[in-house]
Amino acid sequence: MSVHVGTDPEHAGQLLRRGEVVAIPTETVYGLAANAFDSEAVLRIFTTKQRPSFDPLIVHIGRPADVHSVVRELPPGAEDLMHAFWPGPLTLVLPKRPEVPDIVTSGLDTVGVRMPAHPMALQLLQLLEFPLAAPSANPFGYVSPTTAQHVADQLGEAIPYILDGGACAVGVESTIIGWEGDRWVLYRPGGVPVEAIEAVIGRVDAAMQQVVPAAPGMLESHYAPRKPVYVGDVTTLQEKYAGRRLGVISFSRSYTVERSMALSLQGDLAEAARNLFAVLRELDASDVDVILAERFPDEGLGRAINDRLRRAAAKR
């Protein structure tokens, strides 16, 4: 099978109706999509990505009302969050309807759902009679793709079509929150800052870490390049790894190393988030031996950047 890259949502829809998997653009990263109600199609996502079956997927919908096709009930504050942040990079983990196959939720009785803010993804979703399950379109655990070319480079001929919607505008995955008992909890920081969410619904607690993920994106080692990544004070790390070819990811400053890459010369966290995965990928493909990264300001999108860097550096 040879992969085709194009801009035709109708063609992507035809493939998805036949049970194929298709790479689609979102504002966060490219997703590897299949009919969320078709267990066999969803299984193809797992086999294509070589993804563990205990890591649940996010379901993508094209209209706010479509949430009722996958979610059994909306807890307090859910409609306010949907109104404030959909379409956009916010995933809500909510009680699932029985029609959602267990392979999508890894057997959990909850499902992560969001409405992406990408015009081509929304056009596709609104053409279809079903929602799409779609994790990031990359081999499991590796750096998430933010362009169609990234998908082609990583998955090659494993999929029949890549819907090319240009470079992703946000560049880090969605924020994931869920309703547990009587409170909202944060499973993963992402494209919507927690501060903005709390301005709508009040306090959001941190989720307890679990062996089996309670939501997508909670595995400790994730978003990982093949080269070792170390996060901390770059000057100290430079001394520790002296003699190695070093690549550095910084917020806005430059370091005297083989490859120094600032995510935002203006010190803009949104621009930094947008550039993070592309820079990780570029350094991983370069001739450096080790990737060093600064810690970013722990606020807003800086939390999401720090989270992705920490997972990229996790021991595998």
Assess whether 116 and 37 both reside in one domain. yes
Task: Note whether residue 180 is domain-resident.
Answer: no
Of 157, 173, 189, the residue at which a domain comes to its end is 173
Task: Note whether residue 62 is domain-resident.
Answer: yes
Task: Note whether residue 190 is domain-resident.
Answer: no
Q: Do residues 214 and 207 make contact, with C-beta atoms less than 8 angstroms apart?
A: yes
The CATH code of the domain that includes 245 is: 3.40.50.11030
User: Looking at the 3D structure of the chain, how many domains does it have?
Assistant: 2
Digitized pLDDT (tens) for each residue of the chain, 316 residues in all:
567 999 999 999 999 999 999 999 999 999 999 999 998 899 899 888 876 655 789 999 999 999 999 999 999 999 999 999 999 999 999 999 999 998 898 878 999 999 999 999 999 999 999 999 999 998 877 888 999 999 999 998 899 999 999 999 998 889 999 999 899 999 999 999 999 999 999 999 987 655 345 666 655 555 578 899 999 999 999 999 999 999 999 999 999 999 999 999 999 998 998 899 889 989 999 999 999 999 999 888 888 799 889 888 986 5
Task: Note whether residue 158 is domain-resident.
Answer: yes
pTM of the model: 0.81
Which of 130, 105, 116 shows the shortest CA–CA distance to 38?
130
Task: Note whether residue 33 is domain-resident.
Answer: yes
The CATH code of the domain that includes 164 is: 3.90.870.10
Assess whether 156 and 248 both reside in one domain. no
Residues of the domain holding 154: 4-173
CA dist., res. 20 & res. 40, Å (int):
9
In this structure, how many other beta carbons lie within 10 angstroms of the beta carbon of residue 235?
A: 9
Assess whether 71 and 161 both reside in one domain. yes
Task: Note whether residue 133 is domain-resident.
Answer: yes
Assess whether 43 and 155 both reside in one domain. yes
CA dist., res. 189 & res. 302, Å (int):
9
By residue count, the chain amounts to 316
Assess whether 169 and 233 both reside in one domain. no
Q: To which residue do tokens 């970013």 refer?
A: 296
Q: Retrieve residue 301's tokens.
A: 């999108």
CA dist., res. 264 & res. 247, Å (int):
16
Assess whether 111 and 14 both reside in one domain. yes
CA dist., res. 177 & res. 91, Å (int):
6
Q: Is residue 193 reached through a cis peptide bond, with omega within 30 degrees of 0 on the bond before it?
A: no
Ordered DSSP codes for 244-261: S-EEEEESS---SSSEEE
